[in-house]
Amino acid sequence: MDAAVAPRSPGALAWIALGVVYVLWGSTYLGNRLIIADVPPLFAGGARFLIGGALLGLVVLAVAGRAGFRMTRGQLATTALSGLLLPAWGNGLVALAQQKVASGLAALLIAAVPLYIVVLRALTGDRPRPATLVGVGVGVAGLAILVLAGPSGGSGGVQGSAWWGPWLVLLAGLGWATGTFATTRLPTPANPFALAAGQMFIGGVILMTVSLASGDRLDIGSVSVVAWWAWAYMAVVVSLAAFGAYAYALASLPVSTVATYAYVNPVIAVLLGVLVANERFSTMQLVGGAVVLVAVVLVIAAERPRKRRGELAPSGT
């Protein structure tokens, strides 16, 4: 969506909205952890995005009517492509990886999405600033530490560990970055809420189709009360409240301020993982995570004067 010029004195509601984004998007990794303990990951994600997309679509219809979903063929194609890359590829692979990766570690790895976007810009002819490239280099070092640090001291509900877990999260981040980058270069619907609803619904259809085709089935009797509540929270609260808060904050605060979610969300995810899921991290993992967050801060600071629409995207929706 286009970033609006921030008013001189944003009200308290704008800062509350940004706080909501911090907490809700930071909590999605723990939400995934609680759900996939009892529900197949792709099935859980498919149901979540189908419900979230349908609810947000109803909101768009109630507010803007059918005109809110008016799209050209090109805009519809962008919506479908970003639905594949963002909720299906990005969130789907993260959910699969979280069977073997602690939620906090997954969040720290996904925090590298802004770094990937810089690389994609460079590959398509853009010339990032030297300070931006320094930030990317620092980020690569941090990611290397995270991937090579080995398993943490406590599983926090993770069923063992596997070498491919962190790599799968990095692959998920590539999907997020590519989808984000594509939406800045391709035609998108005029209504950003219609775009988000379409992305979630299409991503939900893809995830559910792959899940059912691979033999996943839901055993309702084995789903705990905690998992049900987490599933409802992710499908309704995160899908509606978080995106609405993000849109309001972006319209009321400087985009560089809103972009701070990229390095606040992982911190919240780590804290929630430790406090709620009893996750533990090795010293090297904490060092690697800190390096990645420093890199994201460097990139955001370097790009601040020429921030463009969509350079950062929600990584916890």
What does the pLDDT look like over 228-265, one tens digit per residue? 999 999 999 998 888 778 878 877 777 667 878 878 88
CA distances from 70 to 76, 227, 284 (A): 9, 37, 50
Q: Is the dihedral of CA 31, 188, 135, 301 positive or negative?
A: negative
Q: Does an H or E element contain 297, and which?
A: helix 283-303
pLDDT < 70: residue spans in the chain: 1-10, 150-161, 255-256, 304-317
Supply the pLDDT for residue 6. Answer: 41
pLDDT of 16: 92
For position 150, what pLDDT does the model report?
64
Mapped onto helix, strand or coil, the DSSP state of residue 98 is coil
Residue 155 in tokens: 């599983």
AA identity, residue 299: V
Do 190 and 70 contact (CB within 8 A), yes or no? yes
Contacts 24+ apart (CB under 8 A), 190-193: 190/70, 191/60, 191/64, 191/68, 191/69, 192/1, 192/247, 193/56, 193/59, 193/60, 193/68, 193/243, 193/247
